[in-house]
């Protein structure tokens, strides 16, 4: 077991992870994954099958390191969340960035996982092939679980080819909802579409050079706008990271949401707005109280099933 600087234990194998969790579990000690124990030592790309557009990696690997390795074969994991999370954090937070628009969140690209449960049980679910419906999809279940179900030790992902070409269009507008509606109503296929509220809509097109140029030209004919660059996506991710509140809404209610929020980074197709201010708009999708209670009970039951002693903490 490696220790880096501080006294944080960093596990570097499945067996070590199992031993650390099991010890805490036996001693009745709470454990926060990523804080009390890290997976920094689990940082290998175990398999990259370029011909299959899949890879299997250990969870302590940083997304940037994975994408650097994949780029050697002209491929990428199509996720661009703020910061540079480890694969484990990426999944347990189910965090995505502007590419969410076309490629989905981590839960959409994960194919399988190997988990270490609080009692030291090592278990896998899913697989390493892009199509598979055998067994319960625990690789999706752990997405967003914030480290409370299990330690994610390994994961397999679906990959995409690096685009030959990419261009960004920035539309300055005081009616972003209209710009978005026009783009959604077109047959364009952007890879990313964010509203940097107030005032701008950013759209990214990826593909072959001619196809990207054709899409940009079509988009400009529809909504005008000027050529942008990476800076606007960096701004989008930065504001997302600094956001204190996440608001979810039906994508068709974009106009209402924009009117209620003084500023936000909004990903309209996902129906998500990230805001720095603490203003709480009324949720457009309220849960009925009995359903919310039943949901809470169900989540508690699942947590207890995976971690009966409540060893894993957020």
CA 47 to chain centre: 21
What residues form DSSP beta bridges with 54?
49, 158
Give the binding-site size for other proteins (rule: CB under 8 A): 99
Structure tokens at 291: 């359903």
Closest approach, Cβ 75 to other proteins, in A, equals 9
Q: Which is nearer to other proteins, 172 or 217 (CB)?
A: 217
Quick one: tokens of 277? 């201010």
Nearer to other proteins, 114 or 172 (CB): 114
Q: Which is nearer to other proteins, 30 or 252 (CB)?
A: 252
- In the window 13-52, what residues touch other proteins (CB under 8 A)? 13-14, 44, 46-47, 49-52
Closer to other proteins by Cβ: residue 9 or 81:
81
Out of 38, 39, 54, 168, name the contact with other proteins by CB under 8 A.
54
Query: Among all chains, which residue has been given the structure tokens 């169900």?
Result: 298
Q: What mask of x and - would describe binding to other proteins in positions 150 to 189, judged by CB under 8 A?
A: ----x-x---xxx-x----------------x--xxxxxx
Q: Of residues 119-148, which lie at the interface with other proteins (CB under 8 A)?
A: 121-138, 140-146, 148
In the complex, the smallest distance separating the C-beta of residue 68 from other proteins, rounded to whole angstroms, is 18
Q: Where are the beta strands (DSSP E) in the chain?
A: 2-3, 9-10, 31-32, 45-49, 54-58, 75-76, 110-116, 122-126, 151-158, 160-161, 165-172, 192-197, 200-207, 226-228, 245-248, 264-267, 272-275, 312-313
């Amino acid at each position: 077991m490696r220790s880096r600087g501080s006294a944080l234990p960093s596990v570097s194998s499945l067996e070590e992870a199992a031993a650390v969790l099991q010890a805490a579990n036996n001693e009745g000690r709470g454990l926060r994954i990523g804080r009390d124990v890290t997976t920094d030592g689990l940082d290998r790309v175990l398999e990259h099958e370029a011909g299959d557009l899949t890879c299997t990696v250990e969870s302590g690997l940083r997304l940037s390191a994975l994408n650097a390795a994949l780029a050697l074969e002209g491929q990428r994991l199509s996720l661009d969340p703020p910061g540079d999370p480890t694969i484990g954090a990426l999944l347990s937070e189910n965090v995505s960035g502007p590419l969410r628009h076309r490629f989905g969140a981590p839960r959409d690209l994960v194919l399988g996982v190997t988990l270490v449960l609080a009692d030291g049980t090592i278990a896998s679910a899913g697989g390493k092939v892009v199509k598979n419906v055998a067994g319960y999809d625990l690789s999706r279940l752990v997405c967003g679980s914030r480290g409370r179900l299990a330690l994610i030790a390994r994961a397999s992902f679906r990959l995409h080819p690096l685009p030959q070409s990419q261009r960004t269009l920035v539309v300055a507008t005081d009616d972003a909802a209209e710009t978005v509606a026009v783009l959604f109503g077109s047959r364009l296929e952007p890879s990313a579409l964010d509203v940097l509220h107030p005032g701008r809509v950013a759209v990214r097109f990826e593909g072959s050079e001619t196809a990207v140029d054709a899409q940009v030209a079509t988009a400009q004919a529809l909504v005008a706008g000027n050529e942008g660059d990476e800076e606007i996506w960096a701004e989008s991710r930065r504001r997302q990271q600094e956001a204190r509140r996440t608001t979810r809404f039906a994508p068709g209610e974009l106009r209402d949401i924009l009117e209620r929020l003084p500023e936000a980074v909004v990903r309209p197709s996902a129906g998500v707005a990230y805001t720095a201010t603490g203003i709480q708009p009324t949720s457009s999708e309220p849960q009925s109280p009995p359903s919310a209670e039943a949901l809470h009970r169900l989540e508690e039951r699942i947590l207890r099933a995976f971690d009966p002693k409540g060893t894993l903490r957020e």
